[in-house]
Amino acid sequence: MTSSWDGTRYTSPEIFAQESSRIFERCWMCVARAETVQAPGSFHRAEIGTESVLLVRDRYGTLRGLLNLCRHRGARLCTDRRGTLGKTIRCMYHGWSYGLDGNFVSAPYAHDLPKDPAENRNLCPVRTTEWLGYIWLNLSSSSPPLTEQMEPQLDRRFGRADLLTQYTMDKLTTALTKTYEVRANWKLILENFCECYHCPTLHPELSAVLPSFRTGYGTISGPVRQGARFAGHMAGFSMSGRAAAPALPDLRTENERTFHSVNLWPNAVLILLPDHVVCLRLEPVAADRTQVTADWLFHPDATAAPDFDPCDAVKLLDLTNQQDFQASERCQLGARSKHFTPVYPPREHVIAYFHHWVDQALAAQDES
């Protein structure tokens, strides 16, 4: 099967701008672990398309999504990625101040300001919701709720809704976070997560843990909805084969030696393992650049154990991530060629579904 997509899909700033306004600014995007914005006054800055958004926990514990845009003359209010605010958000330029709920509080010489309605001075609100222990935001006020975006993807992948709940992601804690600056288009990275044809060549270490990956089918592109079983000598998903922690408390027996994964388009990928979960979230930066953040999530009882050490487990998926991202960067280089005409064998059929999803998202926004 060949694709109608040419290399410009991955290299063109114009196409990236269309994707920003019609996909990233219209879909629910996974942007931060909720525990990083837990304390009153804490904030996290997310970058989506052309917008910068502050996720702020106000002093009553309510999570707020606010455009990071001063209502005076548009200065960016916070440039740090995360931190703690005082009682207000104060613009460094002329000193306009906003409460943590986004409401305008004061400005120097406020009596001179035009008599606009008060809401014109408040920071612009952004829809947020919490799911799986993550904060998801949506820059569109008219997009359907998060469940409408995610349920079809979960159903298609697992064929049953309860699998994800066994991993109790909202109760887990972050043992380690790694950020990867990938010189590749966001779609090349997700296409890589749509197939396991590359696993025998690119991931010898991963394929040693998951023998079914040596077939090039894996669990994503193959018919194996029940997940990939660990090799007989592996007790856990790690370089040594030892488990880093006991199995998660609500996990069914059939998943105690099993690898599952699911892509939650457009910007999250979950790897579900017996004793931990890894969530990768993509922040598309430019047509040829994507920042990927991976969180290794464990049960709090496991991380509290005096001998807890996630390094052995982290090493295996970190190595796999690096292999995947290097391959995506190679494809990014190839996408510049006029002779870039990709071919997708049947075991890469999920890529066709992904392309269809992207095309539909772009077209749907054109109609509105």
Residues 82-101, one symbol each (x = binds ligand FES by CB under 6 A, - = not), give ---------x-xxxx-----
Which of ligand FES, Fe ion, none is residue 362 near (CB under 5 to 8 Å by kind)?
none
| Closest distance of CB 123 from ligand FES, Å | 11
Verify binding: residue 105, ligand FES, rule CB under 6 A. Answer: no
In this structure, the chain runs to a length of 368
Distance CA 315, CA 365 (A): 41
- Name the DSSP letter for residue 211: G
Alpha-carbon distance of 156 to 340, in angstroms, equals 30
* Minimal distance, residue 141 CB to ligand FES, in Å: 24
Which residues touch 141 (CB under 8 Å, ≥6 apart)? 127
- Per-residue x/- mask for ligand FES, residues 32 to 71, rule CB under 6 A? --------------------------------------x-
Q: How far apart are CA 153 and CA 264, in angstroms?
A: 7
Nearer to Fe ion, 70 or 327 (CB): 327
Residue among 67 and 247 whose Cβ is closer to ligand FES: 67
| Measured distance CA(62)–CA(239) in Å, rounded | 41
Least separation in angstroms between residue 215's CB and ligand FES is: 58
- Tell which positions 265-324 bind Fe ion, by CB under 5 A: 324
Q: For ligand FES, how many residues bind (rule: CB under 6 A)?
A: 9
Shortest approach of ligand FES to residue 122 CB, angstroms?
13
352 contact choice in Fe ion, ligand FES, none (CB below 5 to 8 Å, kind-dependent): none
Q: Which of 150, 126, 129, 144 is nearest to 49 (CA)?
A: 126
What is the 3 state secondary structure string of 22-47? Answer: HHHCCCCEEEEEHHHHCCCCEEEEEE
CA 85 to chain centre: 25
Figure out which of the listed residues 75, 105, 124, 285 binds ligand FES, where binding follows CB under 6 A: 75
Residues lying near ligand FES in the complex (CB under 6 A) are found at 70, 72-73, 75, 91, 93-96
